[in-house]
Amino acid sequence: MDEPEACEPRMGVIVLAWPDTLVMSGDVDFAAVRCFGAVDRLDGVHLVDLSAATYLDASAVGLLLRCVQLTRQRDPTRRVRVLGGTERVRASLQMRGVEHLVDFVDLEE
């Protein structure tokens, strides 16, 4: 019988830090999203902390958009807040039009 494949993302990590806070750090790619594996627990996430994220691929953005979708289903007037994010990460989100769906929050706030 084969051993289950160990789940070790190379560069990025995703953690559900609190019931309402998702933290992404490092280069978050498909491997990190697959290792996170808690997509069913995203309902209730209203803050996505990208302060330590250096790169988000399409699957990481998809995870963020899933948080947006679940939040809107629960309360159409509420928006997900995105904390921090390097210039590169924010540019990636803006290129995908995500800035129209979330509120960016600076670390100073």
Q: Residue 89: which domain range?
A: 13-52+61-105
pLDDT tens, position by position, 74-107: 999 999 999 998 999 999 999 999 999 999 998 7
Contacts by residues 69-72 (CB-CB < 8 Å, ≥ 24 positions apart): 70/42, 70/43, 70/44, 70/45, 71/45, 71/46
The verdict on residue 6 lying in a domain is no
The whole-angstrom separation of Cα 58 and Cα 105 is 21
The verdict on residue 83 lying in a domain is yes
Domain count across the chain: 1
The residue assigned the tokens 């948080």 is: 67
The verdict on residue 92 lying in a domain is yes
pLDDT tens, position by position, 14-27: 999 988 999 999 99
Report if pTM > 0.85: yes
The whole-angstrom separation of Cα 78 and Cα 81 is 9
Residue 51, both tokens: 């302060």
Q: Tell me which amino acid residue 3 is.
A: E
